[in-house]
Chain A
Amino acid sequence: MAVSQAFKTDLLGSIPSLRAFAVSLTQNADKADDLVQETLVKAWDKHASFQPGTNLKAWLFTILRNEFYSQMRKRGREVQDSDGIMTAKLAVHPAQHGQLDLKDFRGALEQLPEDQREAIILIGASGFSYEEAAEICGCAVGTIKSRVSRARAKLQEILQITGEDEYGPDAISTQVMGKPAA
């Protein structure tokens, strides 16, 4: 069966999302683009197994994710630290005026285990439901929920965000006093 024009158009249209997800997973732009390329080739080959009318984006994300983990297994997990270099060493400054620097956020995201990072990205940024995310990751909905909540707690810890659950002066005093002694 030939690949339809509609499928090809949708494939093209989903490339920006695929790249964003790939960067989120790999934390490396070059590896991300290689991953997207592999995903497109696989999707093309398997296009007959896609059911029109179902969620193409979720289908593609599943392929990309499987490809990512299979590459990671082959490479013995060296993917994670790629060009992470400085982030671990950089102390995250407490947010000023409640505004977090995007760079700090990136650094914090990078420190999450992959399973937590992908979960929080799928739910909090890519716009998938818990059910869809569970399907993409091949796990239970409850597992996604707990990963998201652990990821969120970890990010709050790294970024020293304490003001979210307790409003008021606490948030400010933590910014002033909360820096751990060296």
Chain B
Amino acid sequence: MKDMMKTSTAGARTRRDVSGDPLGPNSEIGRKLKQYYDELVSDDVPDRFAQLLVQLEQAEPARKKD
């Protein structure tokens, strides 16, 4: 185990932007942004998109003509 004292002192010194990233986990805006976006990303994908890719694939040989 390493001695963590140095780290905790540094942490106490600047509590904001420890990572130097204004949208990082220490920022309320940063956290909300990710929460907002993750919710969107985890939304169920409608079938229409898989169907669309199948259609595109099927249409492909026919399009070779141009």
Cβ B56 vs Cβ A41 within 8 A: yes
Cβ B45 vs Cβ A3 within 8 A: no
The answer to whether A149 has its CB under 8 Å from any CB of chain B is yes
Contacts of A20 in B (CB 8 A): 37, 40-41, 43
Cα separation A125 to B23 with both chains bound (whole Å)? 9
Contacts of B34 in A (CB 8 A): 124-125
Cβ B49 vs Cβ A15 within 8 A: yes
The answer to whether A164 has its CB under 8 Å from any CB of chain B is yes
Q: Which residue of B lies closest to A33 (CB)?
A: B46
Cα separation A64 to B40 with both chains bound (whole Å)? 16
Interface residues of B in 17-64 (CB under 8 A from A): 22-23, 27-30, 32-43, 45-46, 48-50, 52-53, 56-57, 60
Query: Chain A's nearest CB lies how many Å from the CB of B40?
Result: 4
The answer to whether A8 has its CB under 8 Å from any CB of chain B is yes
8 tightest Cβ-Cβ pairs between the two chains A and B: A125-B37, A20-B40, A124-B23, A124-B33, A105-B32, A20-B41, A125-B33, A44-B56
Binding site for B on A (CB under 8 A): 2-3, 8, 11-12, 15-17, 19-20, 23-24, 33, 36-37, 40-41, 44, 95, 98, 100, 102, 105-106, 109, 120-121, 123-126, 148-149, 152, 155-156, 159, 161, 163-165, 167
